[in-house]
Amino acid sequence: MTTPAVIVDAAAYAQAVEDAVRAAAAYYDGGTSPLDDDTYDRLVRGIAVWEAEHPDGILPDSPSGKVAGGAVGGDVPHTVPMLSLDNVFSAEEFTAWTASLARRTGRESTRFSVGPKLDGLAIAARYSEGRLSRLITRGDGTAGEDVSHAIGTVEGLPERLAEPVTLEVRGEVLMTSAQFEHANEVRTGHGGQPFANPRNAAAGTLRARERAYTVPMTFFGYGLLPLPGTDGDLADRMREMAHSDLMALAADLGVHTSARTAVPDTVAGTPEEVLARVKEIAALRAELPFGIDGIVVKADLAADREAAGSGTRAPRWAIAYKLPAVEKITRLLEVEWNVGRTGIIAPRGVLEPVVIDGSTITYATLHNPADITRRDLRLGDHVMVHRAGDVIPRIEAPVAHLRTGEEQPIVFPAQCPRCGSDIDTGEERWRCAQGRNCHLVASLAYAAGRDQLDIEGLGATRVVQLVDAGLVTDLADLFTLGREQLLALERMGGTSTDNLLAAISRAKEQPLSRVLCALGVRGTGRSMSRRIARHFATMDRIRAADAEAMQQVDGIGSEKAPSIVAEMAELAPLIDKLAAAGVNMTEPGATPPPAADAASDDPAEVLAAGGPLEGMAVVVTGAMTGSLEKLSRNEMNELVERAGGRSSSSVSRRTTLVVAGEGAGSKRAKAEQLGVRLVTPDEFAEMVGELLG
Ligand code: IVH
């Protein structure tokens, strides 16, 4: 929960009110607030604390007492005020709210509608006889600005409804992550400054007139109300409808709502059910393609809403259960360039440390040089950093209006920062001309890792020794190491040497999928390596595959196929050397594909035939227990595939089974929501019984 800012005296209070009003006005207006949401919330809570203790000193401007928190109005009056929402930050605060709602409605139990609180801008869309006639911003809540020029650029707000009805749809306009990336690319491409985050981008885009370009946004409806011209019967019916029925009507009319997302509005019968749903939505947040900053809980029944009524600022029949902020503004201090095991040179942003949802963030991914250019990032910039769930933090964009002019361009390396070789800049991701030889230590340590060749005793330190001594210049050299060579190394006794040689010898017997993975083919990880190996069955067939044949592998599209084929060609000498050293080049249990002309694209045929999981798409999540306890995630996935199933890391409608161990979070929630079959590790162990051990 947000801790309130500490306000010590009247002067600090006045300053806090001024800051909050300025930030709120910017937020509702054009979205260039100098405060991130978390800081704003803390300030407003601090103001509320001070006001509770000094009720006589409350300033008229205070955001606590105003409709929509001090935003600038427009000249189109709203028929019914567009209110804001009160917030709760914990289960306790939520329960207290349900108690006060029960007091007002006079009934103990009520029905709630629970849905995502979309992080965009409120908008009213007026439909006249089914035609979209006017778009109005919230403004100060009583009157907003006409932004009808944006009609046609907001997906989900049809220009014609399915029925010729007159009514107002209210909802949130936002940009999805993809729309935001696109908007910033187009904007900086036209010489403009990037938007700091999707919300600002939607705000700026909505209000902009006469721009040389248009960028799409998305609408989510969350309210439906009659207008003066609405047919009397319909208006009466609408006033009596449950919120959930109104939303169903909106969807039937063709308006986009949360219904078709991973977090649709649902109805809950008790506060406990609401809290369970809050947890589920929170767990799904990181994966959503649009921003949410909380969960909105509403009394679903019209009678309850009427009985609860509204205050001047917010209705009493709804509440926003706020989630921790996932965005903070901090500064970009430096950009580091790291060379990975395949020679890819990847930039990483070094940040002024910032705490987001309890973790201190000091680094953020930056993908590639083109990405930096596209987003017009500079050293010293204030940047919006985003971190949700376990996902690696990312820099969303610079906060351009906080620039001082002191920011410096980010210098791209001219030579490989690791070995000084030339850089291949032919693709978006830059690569050292030495390729995987540049960072041989990283590439060998990866190959020897548990999920690849599983060579016990060959950790990074040992690899460094071997490389420094000149004993190993590529992966294949490992398999021709002699006992005397190893014994000559420091800290290598007879026993460790024999153990290492035995582990290397065992590694020669690993299945093709693991050998392929150990090679570190760009664009293929563990699961893709398994799919390729199962599909082709032998290394020779993989090497003989052209892009078209490669595309027959499940999950390889027209973009990836040629790059894998090129990589295989690049790796040919190394593969020959490995084969000559006696490394296994076949996949046990796999049958090669039929001749190209008989190839089928029926996914059922791609899955291994036979086995207890035949035809099933399986996701493993959480910690394994019982007889599966010792298996790594990779070994679990291998087991799934040996049993005839297909392993996947994300839950979708196509998933047929989710193995949920201890601590399973968002994937379990998604499976429950989609109605996918869930089993415990023990149940799963029974299903695949004969293949275990
Ligand atoms: S219902 C009377 N439902 O959050 C207000 N609002 O912070 C009824 N918002 O002004 C609003 N998602 O702009 C509602 N599912 C949702 C929402 C939502 C986002 C916005 C809305 C509101 C603001 C309050």
* Count of domains forming the chain: 5
Is 223 within the bounds of a domain?
A: yes
pLDDT tens profile 237-291: 999 999 999 999 999 999 999 999 999 999 999 999 999 999 999 999 988 999 9
pLDDT tens profile 364-395: 999 899 989 988 999 999 999 999 877 889 99
Rounded mean pLDDT of 219-242? 96
For the chain, give the percent of residues with pLDDT over 90.
70
* Separation between Cα atoms, residue 415 and residue 432, nearest integer Å: 8
Same domain, 220 and 266: yes
Phi, psi of 291 (to 5 degrees): -85, 135
Same domain, 256 and 123: yes
Closest Cα to atom 18, ligand 1: which residue? Answer: 117
Same domain, 313 and 203: yes
Among 87, 118, 323, which is best to mutate for testing ligand 1, by the most ligand atoms less than 8 A from CB?
118
Same domain, 125 and 261: yes
Phi, psi of 217 (to 5 degrees): -130, 175
Calculate ∠ Cα 47-52-56, nearest 5°: 95
86 C-alpha to center of ligand 1: Å? 10
Among 137, 206, 222, which is best to mutate for testing ligand 1, by the most ligand atoms less than 8 A from CB?
222
Q: Is the pLDDT of residue 607 over 50?
A: no
Same domain, 158 and 51: no
pLDDT tens profile 644-671: 888 888 888 889 999 999 988 888 888 8
* Separation between Cα atoms, residue 387 and residue 378, nearest integer Å: 20
Q: Is the pLDDT of residue 75 over 70?
A: yes
Q: In angstroms, what is the C-alpha Rg of the chain? A: 30
Tell me, what's the pLDDT at 47? Answer: 86
Rounded mean pLDDT of 124-134? 97
User: Of 390, 424, 458, at which residue does a domain stop?
Assistant: 424
Closest Cα to atom 17, ligand 1: which residue? Answer: 117
Residue 451 has a CB neighbour count (10 Å cut-off) of 18
Among 114, 117, 321, which is best to mutate for testing ligand 1, by the most ligand atoms less than 8 A from CB?
117
* Separation between Cα atoms, residue 680 and residue 332, nearest integer Å: 44
636 C-alpha to center of ligand 1: Å? 43
Same domain, 218 and 363: no
pLDDT band at 72 (very low <50, low <70, confident <90, very high): low
Phi, psi of 616 (to 5 degrees): -100, 145
Is 652 within the bounds of a domain?
A: yes
Calculate ∠ Cα 212-373-176, nearest 5°: 60
Same domain, 365 and 311: no
Residue burial 96-134, b: 16+ Cβ < 10 Å; e: rest: ebbeebbeebeeeebbbbbbbbbbbbbbbbbbeebebee
Closest Cα to atom 3, ligand 1: which residue? Answer: 222
Instruction: Report the binding-site residues.
Output: 37-41, 84-85, 138, 172, 298, 322, 416, 419, 438
172 C-alpha to center of ligand 1: Å? 7
Grouping H, G, I as helix, E, B as strand and the rest as coil, residue 345 is strand
* Separation between Cα atoms, residue 322 and residue 88, nearest integer Å: 6
- DSSP letter (8 states) at residue 608: P
Phi, psi of 280 (to 5 degrees): -65, -45
Q: Which residue among 66, 117, 328, 560 is the active-site one?
A: 117
Same domain, 331 and 295: no
User: Of 424, 448, 476, at which residue does a domain stop?
Assistant: 424
pLDDT band at 605 (very low <50, low <70, confident <90, very high): very low
Q: What is the sign, positive or negative, of the torsion defined by CA atoms of 483, 486, 490, 492?
A: negative
Q: Is the pLDDT of residue 42 over 90?
A: no
Kindly report the CATH number assigned to the domain that includes residue 24: 1.10.287.610
The burial class, CB within 10 Å (0-12 / 13-18 / 19+), for 580 is exposed
DSSP E strand stretches across 204-269: 217-225, 266-268
Q: What are 131's strand-pairing partners?
A: 128, 160
Closest Cα to atom 1, ligand 1: which residue? Answer: 222
Atom of ligand 1 nearest to the CA of 87: 7
Same domain, 190 and 145: yes
Write out the DSSP string of 409-439: EPPPPSS-TTT---EE-SSSS-EETTGGGTT
Answer for the pair 397, 194: CB distance below 8 angstroms, yes or no.
yes
Is 551 within the bounds of a domain?
A: no
Rounded mean pLDDT of 432-440? 92
Whole-number Cα distances in Å, 174 to 63, 69, 148, 308, 394? 24, 20, 16, 30, 19
Tell me, what's the pLDDT at 31? Answer: 57
* Separation between Cα atoms, residue 17 and residue 31, nearest integer Å: 19
Ligand 1 site, CB within 6 A: 83-85, 115, 117-118, 122, 172, 222-223, 296, 315, 318, 320
Answer for the pair 480, 581: CB distance below 8 angstroms, yes or no.
yes
Rounded mean pLDDT of 601-614? 57
Describe the crossing of helices 526-536 and 512-519 by its angle, rounded to 10 degrees.
130
Is 516 within the bounds of a domain?
A: no
Q: Which two tokens stand for residue 659?
A: 């193995």
Tell me, what's the pLDDT at 595? Answer: 56
Any catalytic annotation for residue 630?
Answer: no
* Separation between Cα atoms, residue 464 and residue 640, nearest integer Å: 35
Atom of ligand 1 nearest to the CA of 68: 10
Q: Is the pLDDT of residue 150 over 70?
A: yes
Instruction: Report the binding-site residues for NAD(+).
Output: 37-41, 84-85, 138, 172, 298, 322
pLDDT tens profile 284-297: 998 899 999 999 99
Q: Is the pLDDT of residue 486 over 70?
A: yes
* Separation between Cα atoms, residue 662 and residue 389, nearest integer Å: 17
Contacts of 612 (CB under 8 A, 6+ apart): 643, 644, 687, 688, 689, 690, 691
Kindly report the CATH number assigned to the domain that includes residue 242: 3.30.470.30
Mean pLDDT taken over the chain: 90
* Separation between Cα atoms, residue 70 and residue 356, nearest integer Å: 27
Rounded mean pLDDT of 82-107? 95
138 C-alpha to center of ligand 1: Å? 11
267 C-alpha to center of ligand 1: Å? 17
106 is in which domain, residue-wise?
Answer: 76-322
Tell me, what's the pLDDT at 477? Answer: 97
Is 99 within the bounds of a domain?
A: yes
Rounded mean pLDDT of 96-103? 95
Same domain, 459 and 392: no
Rounded mean pLDDT of 328-341? 96
Same domain, 389 and 260: no
Grouping H, G, I as helix, E, B as strand and the rest as coil, residue 96 is helix
For the chain, give the percent of residues with pLDDT over 70.
94
Q: Is the pLDDT of residue 641 over 70?
A: yes
Tell me, what's the pLDDT at 67? Answer: 33
User: pLDDT: is 554 or 408 the higher one?
Assistant: 408
Tell me, what's the pLDDT at 28? Answer: 61
Whole-number Cα distances in Å, 496 to 397, 483, 492? 51, 10, 6
Tell me, what's the pLDDT at 594? Answer: 65
Q: Is the pLDDT of residue 596 over 60?
A: no
Is 337 within the bounds of a domain?
A: yes
pLDDT tens profile 500-527: 999 999 999 999 999 999 999 988 999 9
Closest Cα to atom 15, ligand 1: which residue? Answer: 117
* Separation between Cα atoms, residue 14 and residue 27, nearest integer Å: 20
pLDDT tens profile 182-218: 999 899 888 888 898 999 999 989 988 878 888 999 9
* Separation between Cα atoms, residue 603 and residue 606, nearest integer Å: 5
Whole-number Cα distances in Å, 349 to 178, 277, 334, 410, 570? 21, 36, 6, 10, 31
Closest Cα to atom 9, ligand 1: which residue? Answer: 117
Kindly report the CATH number assigned to the domain that includes residue 370: 2.40.50.140
How many Cα atoms occupy the beta-carbon half-sphere of 253 within 13 Å? 28
Tell me, what's the pLDDT at 600? Answer: 43
3-state secondary structure 445-478: HHHHCCCCCCCCCCCHHHHHHHHHCCCCCCHHHH
367 C-alpha to center of ligand 1: Å? 34
Q: Which two tokens stand for residue 619?
A: 């996701």
Tell me, what's the pLDDT at 693? Answer: 66
User: Of 461, 479, 507, at which residue does a domain stop?
Assistant: 507
